[in-house]
A = this chain, B = another copy of it.
């Protein structure tokens, strides 16, 4: 770092995104993208006239997207905030509801960005170990005196909590915000959105990146009671009010309204996930019960790093981490059936070839 960099951030350890190599064409099963294009209705919304209108700023309130999200979820628009990806919404939420005196708690195995934001904002972080089978013990999250962030389904395990379990955590922390990161909720888990009307301390964050096939458009959204959303907007309007691209607002509103396409894509991914899980189990893999658009698997026949590398040599990218508890596990995104057949074939070669 340069000699001008502030001491306050000397301990930063920036997030490492999944690799995006360009040297050859891979089957990309490493960043949980959708194998399907966005809704045709969204694609068609980007007319030449709209593209030319990029000369104008976007609506900083993102009202069209907030309205579409509100309508689908039985909320009012002021209960929704749109952001430049759910990463931005989550960061704003931690900035709004935590501080040097009010820490944050999350599982030891979860989305790797939570501790990064905690360091950036100087927030004391408590990592609570998951059980040996990666399940979250609800009783560990009662009366913590901290803001809580829970990914549900969790990443990278794909395991879910029921709304009733989340409710226990909400009731056990009435003076703290519980942020439920539902990035992967649309692939078979149950959303906590219906709890918003009953718990003023609940913030639910979702994204267009996975189930709406818009990872490259950068659009996420937070839902909660209007006061929490106003808090998020105070942070947003103090950092970057025009945070969402004009075309992205069009894409988001059109995509949220296309229920049929959404249902078809998410159903297909769930079916392909079940097929993939069966194939991997047949090859001797141990798997979590993932309700996300990925599976989480390990084999005892070979170290995870070696499986990862041999897949890479065969043109297939998956995701793995060095952290001890999950060093042998692979997170494998669900692509098309053809992608997953290629994966199963490569795994057969690697383990039985």
Is the C-beta of A247 less than 8 angstroms from some C-beta in chain B?
yes
Within the complex, which residue of B8, B28, B120 is in contact with A239, where a contact is CB–CB below 8 Å? B120
User: Please, which residues of chain B bring their CB within 8 A of the CB of A54?
Assistant: 37-38, 213-217, 251
Instruction: Check B55–A15 contact: CB distance below 8 A.
Output: no
CA distance A177 to B6 in the complex (A): 11
Taking the complex as formed, is A260 at the interface, i.e. its CB lies under 8 A from any CB of chain B? no
CA A60 – CA B242 in complex, angstroms? 19
- A5-51 residues with Cβ-Cβ distance < 8 A to B are 5-9, 12-17, 20, 28, 31, 33-38, 43, 46, 48, 51
Tell me the complex Cα distance, A105–B134, Å: 50
Copy tally for this chain in the complex stands at 2
Q: List 27 A-B contacts (CB under 8 A).
A: A1-B231, A2-B225, A2-B228, A3-B175, A4-B96, A4-B176, A7-B99, A8-B99, A12-B238, A15-B241, A16-B237, A20-B57, A20-B59, A31-B57, A35-B55, A37-B54, A57-B216, A58-B216, A58-B218, A84-B243, A85-B243, A87-B240, A87-B241, A88-B239, A120-B239, A218-B242, A218-B245
Is there contact, CB below 8 Å, between A234 and B46? no
With an 8 Å Cβ cutoff, the count of chain A residues facing the other chain is 89
- Taking a contact as CB atoms under 8 Å apart, the answer to whether A33 and B55 are in contact is yes
Known A38-B52, A59-B20, A231-B4; judge A218-B239 contact (CB<8 A).
no
A99 to B8, CA, bound (A): 7
> Considering the chains assembled together, what is the distance between the CA atoms of A25 and B110 in angstroms?
48
A196 at the A/B interface (Cβ < 8 Å)? no
Given contacts A84-B243, A240-B85, contact A230 B101 (CB under 8 A): no
* 16 new A-B contacts at CB < 8 Å, known A1-B234, A54-B251, A245-B247: A4-B176, A5-B231, A6-B95, A6-B99, A7-B99, A13-B238, A14-B238, A17-B57, A33-B56, A38-B51, A55-B214, A58-B218, A84-B243, A87-B240, A119-B238, A218-B242
Instruction: Write out the residue numbers on chain B whose beta carbons fall within 8 Å of the beta carbon of A84.
Output: 84, 218, 240, 243
In the complex, the chain B residue whose C-beta lies closest to that of A248 is B245
B4-A97 in contact (CB<8A): yes
A53 to B100, CA, bound (A): 41
Given contacts A14-B237, A91-B240, contact A245 B230 (CB under 8 A): no
Q: A48-B43, A54-B213, A218-B242 are in contact. Are A230 and B91 (CB under 8 A)?
A: no
